[in-house]
Structure 1
Amino acid sequence: MQEASFSGLFKTIMWVIAFYYIFKFLARIFLPVLVKKAVENASENFQRQQQQYNQGNTYQNNRNTSNNDEIIINTANAKNPRETKKVGEYVDYEEID
């Protein structure tokens, strides 16, 4: 059976502090690189989605235009205004003296 000693506790605390500062130092070096790469990936995904949207939108515009220049507008995705919920009647209470 082992017993805890002051020197063992001191060594453990020193190792924890050392690992903390090593991790902090390495994070300062590598974290900006990782964040930059993540931003670039997000930017590429956004540009790809924009291109797909623009290509689909062009296809729909070409498809909806007929030979006699008639344009059909699809309003299936139009948002209807939401109704406000009516909770009930307002009752004004008066204080009785």
Structure 2
Amino acid sequence: MIFTLSVVGLARTILWIIAIYFIIKILSRLLAPFLIRFAARKMEEKFGQQFNQQYKQDNPKRKEGETVIDKMPNDNSQSNKKVGEYIDYEEID
């Protein structure tokens, strides 16, 4: 089947493209606040769940003012006392 290009068909296609563009633009302005509000609510729930899970894991029943050390640092690192020899020098002008 061979299609021929006509001015009327081209104008009709361009008008349809412009009409669809404006319809999408108008609908996005109307629906965007609802979509953003929905996404923000979902993120808030997700962050709240993560916070509650972490808070429950990190905060077992402790008395107020009690100091707890979970892990003592390893003191296996030994410093090398003999780093090098000291060289005395004089400035030459």
Structures share fold, TM-score greater than 0.5: yes
Within-5 A mapping of 1:1-97: 1-59=2-60, 71-74=68-71
Residues matched between the structures, number: 70
Identity of matched residues, %: 30
Q: Determine the C-alpha separation between the residues in 1 that align with 2:72 and 2:11.
A: 72
Q: Determine the C-alpha separation between the residues in 2 that align with 1:51 and 1:6.
A: 65
TM-score by length of 1: 0.62
| Structure number having the greater helix percentage | 1
TM-score by length of 2: 0.65
The letter of the residue matching 2:36 is V
Q: Which structure is higher in RCO with an 8 Å CA cutoff and minimum separation 6?
A: 1
Residue segments in structure 1 that go unaligned for 5+ positions in a row = 63-68, 77-97
Residue segments in structure 2 that go unaligned for 5+ positions in a row = 74-93
2:59 partner SS: helix
The RMSD of aligned alpha carbons is 2.4
